[in-house]
Chain A
Amino acid sequence: MTDNVENNKTIENKISDIKVTDTRVHEKQKELESGPIGLDIGTTNIVVARNRAGAPITMKQLNAFFAIPKSKLTARILSQNDVMYFAKNGQFYIIGNSSEEFANTFNTETRRPIESGLISPREDDGMNVIQALIKSLLQPPKKQGEPVCFSIPGDPIDGNSSVLYHESIIKRALDAMGYKPISINEGFAVVLSELQGENYTGLGISMGGGMCNICLSYLSVPVFSFSIRKGGDYIDTMVGRTVGEPATLIKTIKEKDLNLLREPSNRIETSLQIYYNELINYVVHSIQQVMASSDRMPRLSKPVPIVLSGGTAVVTGVKELFEKALKTARLPIQISGVRIASDPLNTTAKGALTMAVSEEN
């Protein structure tokens, strides 16, 4: 608790350092195009979605950083190579996409401001990094109070963490930047992004790096939402431990050409299939458990779709594994089909954007 208070103070100080306000902006706000924003603050990436000419466009940065000791030489090299960074406490914090290249160069791992979907308790400067990344993706608002809808995880069912601190601290940061922050459950964002044709009815599942988020929505009303603190990183770590290889290597293999439907060609693929199966079964049985215990669960006469999104759902065969796992589960609702989101890596941000647009109207 004390840690939280201290973190709050640090973050407040930081916010006051980098806050930009221009009162004249307000006078002219009517002349400006002001646009709602969707923001997905994930364990792996931060994605921003905005509307341009009626269609959403997205921008992203890796949600990671890499600290190196400060020196004049380094500053020169970083500046000349357009590397995104900021200086603090005698260190340069290289942030975003650049950090991974640095980590690879130094043959080590990047550090993450978000751990298992929530602000990492191990990184004192995590929130500063997130803020700097958001600043790099978002210009200051053209008028005070532009809506920004950001994604938050559901309460985890397999841990005692609360999302309250995570949500509040991001809200404060966005508020300090001049936005009107609105939070949206990550699974619900998937529904808003993908299930317009089904009147926003169905199960939205975001399978990210740190966690999986699940939300059942009925006619755009979130009936229940929750998260489990396992995701792509869990698969990488477990496979890495099993075969004795670094998790980053496993991640690379996984993202390159893994196909869960074909016969595994080596130990790593075998292991990946096993842990993918385990994760998917875990998700499906968590859904079964929550539905069985929820007193809000409505009896639905029509079958509802399931949409999978997020980086962990991109791998070939996830859909089929999910369908297989569903056959073994006894859900109180009928499932009309499983599908992968049209743009899985940007689904949450786009859903958040839909929410932000509706808030503005």
Chain B
Amino acid sequence: MSVPIVIFSIDDTRGTLLQKVLQHNGLQSKLIKRNFELGTVLSKRVPSIVVFDTKDYYSRDFAYLRNICSTYPLATVIALAEDSNVPVLIEIGVRDDLCVREPFNPDLTLAKVKELVFIKNKAHLKVKTYLALIYHLIVGEKDNPYIVFIKKVLTVIALLLSSVVGIAGGFTIWSLSDLPKIQQLEDYSPLETSSVYSTDGKQLGEFFYVHRKTIPYYKIPPHVKDSFLAVEDARFYEHKGIDFYRIGGAFLENIRSKGYSQGASTITQQLAKMLFLKPEKNLSRKIKEAVLSLQIESRYTKDEILGIYLNQAFFGARSYGVEAAAQTYFGKKTEDLSVADAALLAALPKAPSFYSPFKNPSGCLTRRNLVLKMMLNRGYINDDKYKAALAEPLPTEMERPAYKSSYFLDYLKNHLEKQIGEKLFTSGLKIQSTMDSAMQDAAEKAIKKGIETLTRNGDKNLQAALLAVDIKTGGVRAMVGGIDYSTSVFNRVTQAMRQPGSAFKPFVYLAAFKEGYTPNDVIMDREVTYFSKEGGVPWTPQNYTHRFYGNVTLRTAISSSLNGATIYLANKIGMNKVIDAARSTGITSPIYPHLPAAIGVSELTLSELVYAYATLASGTAKRPIFYTTIKDKNDVTIETDGLGEVKVIDDGIVTFVKDVLRSVVEHGTAKAAQSIGRPVYGKTGTTDNYTDAWFVGFDDHLAVGVWVGKDDNKPLKEDSSGSAVALPIWIDFMKSVVNK
């Protein structure tokens, strides 16, 4: 029974220090730092020794101490005090020899406590007994001949053992002189698939060289782990990296079969081989494999080892790791795999190509069922689950995720590959794109519906493209580069150079407004023949309706898409001003520096045109933005993209442009767009012989362009104007977007 000791000190450091000193000498004590605590403790159990530290004690008459001395006469008090306080303490009842004077002296205090404990415990009696006993046992038997003999035997054994250890050590050092550094595993960072996400958080697609998604160990369901353990290493959790029991079994089996029929590699050994060693078969590699396995086991937990193994193993079809394999063979996540699925995956690493369910279904089925049988035998599954799993069919074709937005992803991939190189395919990046998957769905549906209608009406081999961009940010919200990516990867948004026709006219009017014109100013719409200075053929432009309207306002000229008035205006202000105006909105393709360019004979891309319209809508410069952030696999942002606010068109002129483009919808060639039910602005475009049909426009948030035509530049059906062919698709899309 130990002597109860209480230390009371208001000073935390001194109190703790004293307690530690006592503890270090085998004396347990209770440290009290507050008066009221002291009262509580004493009321429960009276201590034998109280060490009372008076430093910083607020009460100079030591009322509590007085109380202890008078109420508990059996408790002995040691007081730590300034020399000047000692008389008061003696008067209270503390013994003079138990007053430890400042400065603070923990060793002296300890000595006092030990002395008290020694006396209170009567330990001196016991100590004497023990000392006598030890003396006779050790010192007294020094010349005993039996002990001398045992000492000699022990010396010989020690010498033999050290020789064996020396030889074995030398051999090990020689064998392992070029052993790979296990520390490399600290930086285990396999090639990982990068993912692209839409603004609404959906995965749009993936970029990879090898298909791998690492999955934390704890997300792998037990039956998946069990299937691998059953077939690869049933005693995984019992051995230390090398399974000597299994080696013995395999040795006997191989002797019995007179050949190499059974291996004994543990999962740890397989991991060592996969990560560090060449696939050669010799004794040296086996030794290295064994040593590496032991090192891995000493450094990592079993769960970590199994986790790395399942993320590293090759399952065929470019798939590394169980998560990618689950996707490739079943289109599932690992956590959704059934017992039969897991057994099939466990069957694969031995020979992924040979046991592939797509190439060798019967061989695959046999091995999968063998895995199931082993799971049953080892008690991982019961008989019911075993039978149910046997009945499950094999997958018949590879699961490929049906990603939409293929044209967008294609463009993004090319763009980012130039920017960040092969990291795009290897580093598990998370790319937050600007794409809105709901808008993309709406765009694809609108194109599909529009093309089906036109095909039903007798036109063939049609192609179409749509691009929707955010006016504020320049972000691509939806992109359809053609009617079917699987048959043509040519992107008609970014790659197809087509004549825009009248869709180019807004740039003529932009140039005019910059020159001081207003939408109400009057210009001439009449038959004029223009002669080129270089002596080319004289040109007399015609209106779509083959008649002229005399004096018209700029607003009427554009809303009715009058070629005569537009060319009159372009001629008056000069084509160089028109080209400058187009360039200020971001058009970069070459523009023919003569009047026919005013009605859109110079080829450009849909992307250029839509971004130019986005600039018209806001007055600030725009360029395509495909992503907002790129994060690495640790979620650290490594790249961002966005626009600055660069004003290129004055607000007054933006108002004029919107005025005239609104009149196209209210009174002109795009009246049908009024059905959208909110203010929209835009312009139709139709080229000679109906080769290209366009509608490009915007509302307050989105700039959207639609093109319909044929890849071989053959004309569409008669009367397939922009307003008849492209506008309905545009309207359909805009309605879906607002209804969303």
- Contact residues in B for A25 (Cβ distance below 8 Å): 216, 218
- B24 within 8 A of partner (CB): yes
Give the complex CA separation of A332 and B105 in angstroms.
Answer: 12
Give the complex CA separation of A53 and B105 in angstroms.
Answer: 41
The residue from A53, A59, A135 contacting B634, defined by CB atoms under 8 A apart: A135
Q: How far is the CB of A194 from chain B (nearest CB, A)?
A: 18
Q: How far is the CB of A78 from chain B (nearest CB, A)?
A: 8
- B95 within 8 A of partner (CB): no
Q: How far is the CB of B280 from chain A (nearest CB, A)?
A: 29
- A331 within 8 A of partner (CB): no
Which of B14-22, B126-134, B309-317 is found at the contact surface with chain A?
B14-22
Q: Could you tell me if A296 and B635 are in contact, using CB atoms closer than 8 angstroms?
A: no
Smallest CB gap from B56: residue in A: A295
- Contact residues in A for B418 (Cβ distance below 8 Å): 76
Give the complex CA separation of A317 and B106 in angstroms.
Answer: 35
- Contact residues in B for A85 (Cβ distance below 8 Å): 638
The residue from A86, A139, A332 contacting B637, defined by CB atoms under 8 A apart: A86
Given contacts A32-B217, A52-B299, A53-B299, contact A132 B108 (CB under 8 A): no
Within 8 A of B (CB), among A281-301: 295-301
Smallest CB gap from B634: residue in A: A135
- B219 within 8 A of partner (CB): yes
Q: Could you tell me if B421 and A135 are in contact, using CB atoms closer than 8 angstroms?
A: no
Q: Could you tell me if B423 and A80 are in contact, using CB atoms closer than 8 angstroms?
A: yes
The residue from B300, B301, B420 contacting A76, defined by CB atoms under 8 A apart: B420
- A1 within 8 A of partner (CB): no
Give the complex CA separation of A57 and B299 in angstroms.
Answer: 11
- A222 within 8 A of partner (CB): yes
Given contacts A18-B636, A223-B17, contact A79 B421 (CB under 8 A): yes
Give the complex CA separation of A220 and B423 in angstroms.
Answer: 49
Interface bin, chain A = 35 or more
- B55 within 8 A of partner (CB): yes
Smallest CB gap from A223: residue in B: B13
Q: Could you tell me if A296 and B298 are in contact, using CB atoms closer than 8 angstroms?
A: no
Q: Could you tell me if B423 and A28 are in contact, using CB atoms closer than 8 angstroms?
A: no
Give the complex CA separation of A25 and B186 in angstroms.
Answer: 21
Give the complex CA separation of A250 and B21 in angstroms.
Answer: 46
Would you give the 0/1 interface string for A203-247, flagging 1 where the beta carbon is closer than 8 Å to chain B? 000000000000000111111100000000000000000000000
Q: Could you tell me if B103 and A299 are in contact, using CB atoms closer than 8 angstroms?
A: yes
Smallest CB gap from A224: residue in B: B13
Smallest CB gap from A302: residue in B: B107
Q: Could you tell me if A300 and B13 are in contact, using CB atoms closer than 8 angstroms?
A: no
Q: Could you tell me if B17 and A33 are in contact, using CB atoms closer than 8 angstroms?
A: no
Smallest CB gap from B22: residue in A: A219
- Contact residues in A for B634 (Cβ distance below 8 Å): 20, 135-136, 139-140
Q: How far is the CB of B181 from chain A (nearest CB, A)?
A: 13
- Contact residues in B for A222 (Cβ distance below 8 Å): 13
- B419 within 8 A of partner (CB): yes
- Contact residues in B for A31 (Cβ distance below 8 Å): 217-218, 303
- Contact residues in A for B637 (Cβ distance below 8 Å): 17-18, 86-88
Give the complex CA separation of A52 and B103 in angstroms.
Answer: 44
- B115 within 8 A of partner (CB): no
Q: Could you tell me if A218 and B20 are in contact, using CB atoms closer than 8 angstroms?
A: yes
- Contact residues in A for B419 (Cβ distance below 8 Å): 72, 75-76, 79
- A24 within 8 A of partner (CB): yes
Within 8 A of B (CB), among A4-52: 17-18, 20, 24-25, 27-28, 31-33, 52
Q: How far is the CB of B287 from chain A (nearest CB, A)?
A: 21
Give the complex CA separation of A27 and B216 in angstroms.
Answer: 13
- A199 within 8 A of partner (CB): yes
Total count of chain B residues near the partner, CB < 8 A: 39
Give the complex CA separation of A136 and B103 in angstroms.
Answer: 49
Q: Could you tell me if B17 and A221 are in contact, using CB atoms closer than 8 angstroms?
A: yes
Smallest CB gap from B304: residue in A: A33
- Contact residues in A for B83 (Cβ distance below 8 Å): none
Q: How far is the CB of A206 from chain B (nearest CB, A)?
A: 20
Given contacts A218-B106, A298-B105, contact A75 B639 (CB under 8 A): yes
Within 8 A of B (CB), among A278-331: 295-302
Given contacts A79-B420, A296-B11, contact A28 B301 (CB under 8 A): no
Q: How far is the CB of A14 from chain B (nearest CB, A)?
A: 10
Q: Could you tell me if A298 and B303 are in contact, using CB atoms closer than 8 angstroms?
A: no
- B640 within 8 A of partner (CB): yes
- Contact residues in A for B635 (Cβ distance below 8 Å): 18, 20
Given contacts A76-B418, A76-B421, A87-B638, contact A221 B20 (CB under 8 A): yes
Give the complex CA separation of A136 and B11 in angstroms.
Answer: 42
- B276 within 8 A of partner (CB): no
Give the complex CA separation of A297 and B106 in angstroms.
Answer: 10
Q: How far is the CB of B637 from chain A (nearest CB, A)?
A: 6
Within 8 A of A (CB), among B607-640: 634-640
- Contact residues in B for A140 (Cβ distance below 8 Å): 634
Interface core residue of A24, A224, A298 (most chain B CB under 10 Å): A298
- B104 within 8 A of partner (CB): yes
- Contact residues in B for A20 (Cβ distance below 8 Å): 634-635
Given contacts A33-B304, A132-B636, A218-B20, contact A298 B103 (CB under 8 A): yes
- Contact residues in A for B55 (Cβ distance below 8 Å): 295
Give the complex CA separation of A135 and B637 in angstroms.
Answer: 12
Q: How far is the CB of B371 from chain A (nearest CB, A)?
A: 24
Q: Could you tell me if B218 and A219 are in contact, using CB atoms closer than 8 angstroms?
A: no
- Contact residues in B for A135 (Cβ distance below 8 Å): 634, 636
Give the complex CA separation of A79 and B416 in angstroms.
Answer: 11
- Contact residues in A for B640 (Cβ distance below 8 Å): 87
The residue from A53, A75, A297 contacting B420, defined by CB atoms under 8 A apart: A75
Within 8 A of A (CB), among B211-254: 216-219
Give the complex CA separation of A222 and B107 in angstroms.
Answer: 17
- Contact residues in B for A295 (Cβ distance below 8 Å): 55, 104
Give the complex CA separation of A52 and B13 in angstroms.
Answer: 34
Q: How far is the CB of B361 from chain A (nearest CB, A)?
A: 36
Give the complex CA separation of A18 and B637 in angstroms.
Answer: 8
- Contact residues in B for A302 (Cβ distance below 8 Å): 107
Give the complex CA separation of A57 and B421 in angstroms.
Answer: 33
Give the complex CA separation of A302 and B14 in angstroms.
Answer: 18
The residue from B216, B219, B301, B639 contacting A33, defined by CB atoms under 8 A apart: B301
Within 8 A of A (CB), among B97-120: 103-108
- Contact residues in B for A300 (Cβ distance below 8 Å): 106-107
Q: How far is the CB of A20 from chain B (nearest CB, A)?
A: 5
Q: Could you tell me if A79 and B638 are in contact, using CB atoms closer than 8 angstroms?
A: yes
- Contact residues in B for A18 (Cβ distance below 8 Å): 635-637
Give the complex CA separation of A128 and B539 in angstroms.
Answer: 66
Would you give the 0/1 interface string for B3-27, flagging 1 where the beta carbon is closer than 8 Å to chain A? 0000000010110110011011000
Instruction: Enumerate 29 A-B pairs (CB-CB under 8 Å) in ascending A order.
Output: A17-B637, A25-B216, A27-B218, A33-B303, A52-B299, A53-B298, A75-B420, A75-B639, A76-B418, A79-B420, A79-B423, A80-B423, A218-B17, A219-B23, A220-B20, A221-B13, A221-B17, A221-B20, A222-B13, A223-B13, A224-B13, A295-B104, A298-B14, A298-B104, A299-B106, A299-B107, A299-B108, A300-B106, A302-B107
In the complex, besides A33-B300, A75-B639, A223-B13, 4 extra interface pairs with C-beta distance below 8 angstroms are: A199-B24, A221-B13, A221-B20, A298-B104
